[in-house]
Amino acid sequence: MSHSSAPVRRVTDWDFEQLSALAGEHGTPLYVVDLDRVAENYERFSAAFPDAHVMYAAKAHTGRAVLETLLDAGADIECAARGELQRAIEAGADPDTLQYTAVNPPDADLDYAAELGAEHPGLTVTGGARDTFDRLEARGYDGRVAIRINPGIGTGHHEKVATGKDAKFGIPYDDVVDLADDLRDRFDLVGIHAHVGSGVLHDDLDDHCRAIAKVADLARDVGDEDLEFVDFGGGFGVPYHEDEEPLDMPTVGERVREAVGDLAARVKLEPGRYVVADSEVILTEVNTVKETPASTVVGVDASLATLIRPAMFDSYHPIANVSAPDRAAEPVSIGGPCCTSADVFCTDRPVPRPEREDLLAIGNAGAYGYELANQFHSQPRPAEVAIEGGETRVVRRRESMDDVTRVEREAGEARAERAPRNGERGAEGTR
DSSP for 311-351, written as a single string:
HHH-----EEESS-TTSPEEEEEEE-SSSSTT-EEEEEEEE
Contacts of residues 394-401 at CB distance under 8 Å and 24 or more positions apart, as own/partner, are 394/26, 395/33, 395/63, 395/64, 395/65, 396/31, 396/63, 396/370, 398/26, 398/27, 399/375
The span from the CA of 220 to the CA of 296, in Å, is: 58
**Exposed, middle or buried: residue 399 (CB in 10 Å: 0-12, 13-18, 19+)?**
middle
Catalytic site residue from 209, 338, 339, 346: 339
3: how many CB neighbours lie within 10 A of its CB?
A: 12
- DSSP β-bridge partners for residue 152: none
Active site residue 339: yes
Helix 249-260 and helix 35-48: axis angle, to 10°? 40
Preceding amide of 239 cis, omega within 30: no
Active site residues: 339
